[in-house]
Amino acid sequence: MISGPVTPDVPTPRPATRFDRRLSKILDHATAVFYEKGYEGASMRDLSRVTGLSLAGLYYYFESKEELLCLIQKHYFTVVVDRLQKRLRDVNDSESRVRAFILNHFEYFLTENYKATKVLSKEDDVLAGHLGAEVTALKREYYRGCSELVETLKQEKGLEFNTRVAVLSLFGMMNWIYTWYKPQVDPEAGALARQVGDIFLAGIKSSVKRH
Amino acid sequence: MISGPVTPDVPTPRPATRFDRRLSKILDHATAVFYEKGYEGASMRDLSRVTGLSLAGLYYYFESKEELLCLIQKHYFTVVVDRLQKRLRDVNDSESRVRAFILNHFEYFLTENYKATKVLSKEDDVLAGHLGAEVTALKREYYRGCSELVETLKQEKGLEFNTRVAVLSLFGMMNWIYTWYKPQVDPEAGALARQVGDIFLAGIKSSVKRH
């Protein structure tokens, strides 16, 4: 468990250098382009247009469209994991920790970075080689973080279920939203996290009686 | 509710004509190509290679790659809805009916048509215009079928939850499998349907106490 000072408010880490700030802006723009056109459908020319940078200017920040997608994925997963760790610092109850994971995910991906959710979910398997491996490692860390929270709850309450299936079902509930969420119709992140948390927690807690 | 004779075994409807049989084979091959290369990445030339048909031969069956994707989506959704209706004929208990929906989905998409699951989930929003509208109508019918089953259970047990969020969370659990399922590691369709059903049903049934 991660311990440390209480941090009620969790700001996005501010990019430090001018290069980082520029890159961060480019990643935002590029995410929007991939969201609209899909990764395959987007060209470096499209990216050049929306960022206002020349192709040569873009290549100063990354070598290829693959590397750009890798940077995007690394950026979002790094920040969401970072926020999660801060958020978990002052939560001790194991059920609340699972709820904190869900809320963190929805707040970050639904409220603040909706377009990124689609890009990250949909372009899940595009990257191969070492770029793919870097992203996979980060995703695995994120998955493992969730899995440990669920496993702790499971041990504590003497529950019996397949943790892998349960956790990946939870990720399914959280990630599938990019296909259906309508801000005008559906509850905001907090209410959504509550309902998904209700279903998931009551769902796994029932397992002790069933097996 | 659909009533009729009990049908313990539910075969895929057999294509009737030579044209239909040929088309059905082409759809299988094309699904495999889209699975490997992605829709954007696959060319009519790839499809020509795997089906053994000339480009002109392919265009006899459909006019464009878009129409092909539309035919694939219509095919799988038509068959899964058809099977579901047959399966529900002899199930009266509303909880068992929700479980029957989940089992039907996993048996069809996971066991028999795994590659189709990825293509259908991933290429969800590619089609526009009237082709897209046809597929959307079929998907909506499938969604609505599930929604009615859940709504019936909700009324019967006096539960309180957002049906749309619950049902789309269930679809998330079911559809996200294309990103993680490993036949060597994970439970087969029946066991998976049971665990997802356990989580979902205990999850929504708990809502009466919470609100």
Q: What are the b/e assignments for B19-36, b being 16+ CB within 10 Å? A: eeebbeebbbbbbbbbbe
Q: Are A167 and A150 in contact (CB under 8 A)?
A: yes
Domain that holds residue A112: 65-210
Q: How many domains does chain A have?
A: 1
In a domain, residue B18? The reply is no
What does the pLDDT read at residue B10? 43
Average pLDDT over residues B182-204: 96
Q: Of A10-19, A81-90, B165-174, which gets the smallest average pLDDT?
A: A10-19
Average pLDDT over residues A105-113: 88
- Per CB-CB distance under 8 Å, the chain B contacts of A38 are 40
Q: At B160, is the pLDDT very low, low, confident or very high (cuts 50, 70, 90)?
A: very high
Better pLDDT: A180 or B208: A180
Q: Choose the most confident range, by mean pLDDT, from A34-43, A105-114, B152-161.
A: B152-161
Percent of chain A beyond pLDDT 90? 45
* CB pair distance less than 8 Å for B169 and A185: no
- Does A184 score more than 70 pLDDT? yes
Q: Is B195 on the interface with A (CB under 8 A)?
A: yes
How many residues belong to chain A?
Answer: 211
In a domain, residue B26? The reply is no
Better pLDDT: A137 or B13: A137
**pLDDT digits over B78-128, tens only?**
889 999 999 999 999 999 999 999 999 999 988 888 788 778 777 777 777
What does the pLDDT read at residue A166? 98
Mutation to test the A interface, candidates B165, B179, B185, B208, most A Cβ within 10 Å? B165
What does the pLDDT read at residue A9? 41
In a domain, residue B57? The reply is no
Predicted ipTM of the assembly = 0.82
- Per CB-CB distance under 8 Å, the chain B contacts of A180 are 168, 171
What does the pLDDT read at residue A111? 81
- Residue A20 carries which side chain, given as an amino acid letter? D
In a domain, residue B56? The reply is no
What does the pLDDT read at residue B127? 77
Q: Is A111 on the interface with B (CB under 8 A)?
A: no
B194 CA: distance to closest CA in chain A (Å) = 11
- Per CB-CB distance under 8 Å, the chain A contacts of B169 are 173, 176, 195-196, 199
**pTM listed for this prediction:** 0.83
Of B38, B176, B204, nearest to A175 by CB-CB distance is: B176
Q: How far apart are CA B158 and CA A207, in angstroms?
A: 22
Q: How far apart are CA B108 and CA A182, in angstroms?
A: 29
What does the pLDDT read at residue A134? 86
CATH of the domain at A149: 1.10.357.10
What does the pLDDT read at residue A3? 37
User: Which residues 26-45 in chain B show a CB within 8 A of chain A?
Assistant: 38, 40-41
What does the pLDDT read at residue A179? 86
**pLDDT digits over B21-79, tens only?**
888 888 889 999 988 888 888 999 999 999 888 999 888 888 888 888 888 888 888 88
Average pLDDT over residues A167-174: 97
Number of Cβ atoms within 10 Å of the Cβ of B14: 8
- Residue A89's SS3 state is coil
Instruction: Retrieve residue A26's tokens.
Output: 């480019």
User: Which residues 64-93 in chain A show a CB within 8 A of chain B?
Assistant: none
In a domain, residue A144? The reply is yes
**pLDDT digits over A77-93, tens only?**
888 999 999 999 999 99
In a domain, residue B22? The reply is no
Q: How far apart are CA B104 and CA B12, in angstroms?
A: 13
Q: Is B142 on the interface with A (CB under 8 A)?
A: no
A15 CA: distance to closest CA in chain B (Å) = 32
Positive or negative, the CA dihedral B162, B167, B172, B174 is positive
In a domain, residue A110? The reply is yes
Which chain A residue shows the shortest CA-CA distance from B160? Answer: A195
Of B204, B166, B102, B107, nearest to A176 by C-alpha is B166
Mutation to test the A interface, candidates B106, B180, B188, B209, most A Cβ within 10 Å? B180
**pLDDT digits over B9-28, tens only?**
444 555 568 877 888 888 88
What does the pLDDT read at residue A119? 81
What does the pLDDT read at residue B3? 37
In a domain, residue B37? The reply is no
Positive or negative, the CA dihedral A184, A32, A99, B196 is positive
Of A196, A205, A207, nearest to B169 by CB-CB distance is: A196
